[in-house]
A = this chain, B = another copy of it.
Amino acid sequence: MPEFFNLVPPDEARARWLAALSHRTATGTAASALEQAIQYGLPVVVDEALSPADLPAFRRSTADGYAVRAADTYGAGESLPAYLSVIGEARMGEVPGVTLGSGQAVLIHTGAMLPDGADAVVMVEQTQPAAGDEIEVLRRVAPGENVLQVGEDIRRGETIVPGGAILRPQEVGGLLALGLGTEERPLVVRDRPRVAIFSTGDEVVPPAQTPGPGQVRDINSFTISAQAARAGAVPDVRGIFPDRPDELLSALRLALAPPGAADMLVVTAGSSVSVRDMTAEVFGQLAAEFGGPGVLVHGVALRPGKPTILAAIGGRPVLGLPGNPVSAMVAFWLFGRPAIARLMDARLPIAPRTQAILTANVASAAGREDYVPCRLVEDGDRLLAEPIFGKSNLIFTLVRADGLLRVPLDATGLRAGEAVTVYYF
**Residue A226 CB within 8 A of the other chain:** yes
Of the candidate stretches A69-77, A134-142, A266-274, A278-286, the one touching chain B is: A266-274
Digit string of A218-236 for contact with B (CB within 8 Å is 1, else 0)?
1110111111011100010
Bound-state CA distance A182–B209 (Å) is: 9
**Residue A395 CB within 8 A of the other chain:** yes
Query: B57, B58, B172, B207: which contacts A181 (Cβ < 8 A)?
Result: B207
Asked whether, in the complex, the Cβ of B161 is within 8 Å of the Cβ of A226, the reply is no
**Residue A329 CB within 8 A of the other chain:** yes
Query: Closest residue of chain B to A31, judged by CB?
Result: B208
Q: Given the interface contacts A56-B216, A93-B203, A203-B112, does A170 sit within 8 Å of B395 by beta carbon? A: yes
Closest Cβ–Cβ distance, residue A177 to chain B (whole Å): 5
Closest Cβ–Cβ distance, residue A194 to chain B (whole Å): 12
Asked whether, in the complex, the Cβ of A182 is within 8 Å of the Cβ of B154, the reply is no
Query: Closest residue of chain B to A167, judged by CB?
Result: B226
Bound-state CA distance A373–B152 (Å) is: 16
Asked whether, in the complex, the Cβ of A213 is within 8 Å of the Cβ of B113, the reply is yes
Asked whether, in the complex, the Cβ of A270 is within 8 Å of the Cβ of B109, the reply is yes
**Residue A352 CB within 8 A of the other chain:** yes
Query: B39, B93, B210: which contacts A179 (Cβ < 8 A)?
Result: B210
Q: Given the interface contacts A109-B274, A208-B182, A219-B176, does A95 sit within 8 Å of B41 by beta carbon? A: no
Asked whether, in the complex, the Cβ of B395 is within 8 Å of the Cβ of A41, the reply is no
Q: How many copies does the complex hold?
A: 2
Measured as residues with beta carbon below 8 angstroms from the partner, the interface class of chain A is: 35 or more
Asked whether, in the complex, the Cβ of B325 is within 8 Å of the Cβ of A62, the reply is no
Asked whether, in the complex, the Cβ of B64 is within 8 Å of the Cβ of A226, the reply is no
**Residue A91 CB within 8 A of the other chain:** yes
**Residue A245 CB within 8 A of the other chain:** no
**Residue A362 CB within 8 A of the other chain:** no
Asked whether, in the complex, the Cβ of A399 is within 8 Å of the Cβ of B354, the reply is no
Asked whether, in the complex, the Cβ of A161 is within 8 Å of the Cβ of B399, the reply is yes
Bound-state CA distance A194–B213 (Å) is: 45
Known: A93-B204, A174-B396, A350-B402. 14 other contacts (CB 8 A): A111-B323, A112-B214, A113-B214, A124-B273, A148-B391, A154-B396, A169-B222, A173-B220, A177-B395, A179-B208, A182-B208, A352-B354, A352-B424, A354-B354
User: What 4 A-B pairs have minimum CB-CB distances, sorted nearest first?
Assistant: A93-B203, A41-B229, A41-B230, A169-B226
Sample (26) of A-B pairs whose CB atoms are under 8 Å apart: A37-B226, A38-B226, A39-B225, A40-B42, A41-B231, A57-B211, A57-B213, A57-B216, A62-B391, A64-B273, A91-B202, A92-B201, A92-B243, A93-B215, A109-B272, A110-B270, A111-B323, A124-B273, A153-B394, A169-B329, A170-B399, A172-B223, A173-B223, A173-B395, A182-B208, A350-B383
Interface residues of A (CB under 8 A from B): 34, 37-42, 55-58, 62, 64, 91-95, 109-113, 124, 148, 152-154, 160-161, 168-174, 176-179, 181-184, 201-204, 207-208, 210-220, 222-227, 229-231, 235, 237, 243, 270-275, 323-325, 329, 349-350, 352-355, 376, 378, 381, 383, 390-391, 393-396, 398-399, 401-402, 421, 424-425
